[in-house]
Amino acid sequence: MFEQQLVNGFTLGLIYALIAVGYTMVYGVIELINFAHGEIYMLGAFLTLSFISTGMPLALAVVLAMLAVAAIGVLLDVIAYRPLREAPRLAALITAIGMSIFLQNLAMIIWGSRPLPFPRQALPAFFNEPAFTFSDVTISWMQVIIYVVALLLMVALNLIITKTRIGTAMRALAQNRTAAALMGINVNRVISFTFAIGSGMGAVAGVMVSMYYNTMYPTMGYLAGVKAFAAAVLGGIGSVPGAMLGGVVLGIAETLGAGYISSPYRDGVAYAVMILVIIFRPSGFLGRSMVEKA
């Protein structure tokens, strides 16, 4: 039982981690809690559904949804956040929440407010069958797919951030935006790139969750967004490996908390962990210590 919950928690945690990197990267470069990131994740699930309903194979639908959602993420930045770069921080935060409400209700108008099932016929039949069985622990093929996809995406992301020029530019921006601009970095292009990558990974997380739980609904972004943000804080906001670690720890904590403490307070575990971490270790597991910026 314990081992099984550990496995389920790990699955959930990898998905949180995928969403959390979107938060943490955006926070790293423009210091904004992108409240609309949860809605980006939700759009990933719904766009995949729409692409599948045109008769597209699953993999193609996911890739297309990922690209579409990446474009939406960039648009979000260009339309809503870019004009407010120099405005008070509060204005940008309210804009982010406003966009979140806008996107959520837009999805309700397009796809209706009722939960929709993930189209089963689009999934290969073996997905729900156990891939591995150890005494009383089973890992389904779906879980294996989630592990593989999530880990591949994270390795790719780490390579981009550490090995490429644009990754170096992102890190430079996170250190000091003005200095980066003075060194000839096209700041807006790097920020757009950050939004694109973060949103694309969020979209994949959205698809995988709706496959895993076989349901999607327009308000699903809110809770997942909050938990992923908690994961980002837990790992140390601004740190990409931190967000991954934070996601996994939070997923496991949540599953164990639901199993052993109280299942109605399942979501409360995320908030409680987040509050305790912020109070006792604001820099998270892997974050640099934050100083009040002048």
Partner 1 sequence: MRGALNTLKYLIAAAALAYPLMPFRDVYVLHVLVLIMVYMVLAMGLNILPGFCGLLDLGFVGFYGIGAYTAGLLTIHYNMSFWLIVPLAALNGAFFGIMLGVPTLRLVGDYFAIVTFGFSELVVLFLTNEIWLTRGPLGVPGIAPVDINFTWLASLLGIDGRWRYAFRGEVPYYYLGMFMVLFVYILMRRLEDSRLGRAWLAIREDSMAAASCGVNLLVYKVIAFAVSAGIGAMAGSFFARWTLFISPDMFKFWESFLVLCMVVLGGLGNINGALVGAVILIALGEVLRVALPRLGLPAETRFLAYGLIMVLIMRYRPGGIFTQVAASTMQSGLIKELRAKLAARRTA
Contact segment (CB under 8 A) with partner 1 among 101-109, 138-146, 173-181, 200-208 equals: 101-109
Positions 22 through 41 that interact with partner 1 (CB under 8 A): 31, 33
In the complex, least distance from residue 121 CB atom to partner 1, rounded to whole angstroms:
29
Nearer to partner 1, 12 or 92 (CB): 92
The footprint of partner 1 on this chain (CB under 8 A) covers a number of residues equal to: 44
Q: Which residues pair with 160 in a beta bridge?
A: none
**Strand ranges, E, within the chain:** 130-134, 137-140
**From the CA atom positions of the chain, what is the Rg in Å?**
19
Q: Would you tell me the crossing angle of helices 220-235 and 37-53 to the nearest 10 degrees?
A: 130
130 Cβ contact partners less than 8 Å away, ≥ 6 residues apart: 138, 139, 140, 141
Give me the phi and psi of 109, to 5 degrees please. -70, -40
Residues 268-287, interacting with partner 1 (CB under 8 A):
268, 271-272, 274-275, 278-279, 282
* Interhelix angle 89-111/37-53, nearest 10 degrees: 20
- Give strand pairing partners of 132: 139
3-state secondary structure at position 138: strand
| Stretch in the footprint of partner 1 (CB under 8 A) among 46-54, 123-131, 193-201, 227-235 | 227-235
Which 113-132 residues touch partner 1, going by CB under 8 A?
A: 113
> Least separation, in Å, of the C-beta of 155 and partner 1?
29
Q: Could you tell me which of 151, 142, 148 has the C-alpha nearest to residue 244?
A: 151
> Which residue stretch of 18-26, 100-108, 142-150, 246-254 sits at the interface with partner 1 (rule: CB under 8 A)?
100-108
The residues binding partner 1 (CB under 8 A) are 31, 33, 80, 83-84, 87-95, 97-102, 104-106, 108-109, 113, 226, 229-230, 233, 262, 264-265, 267-268, 271-272, 274-275, 278-279, 282, 290, 292
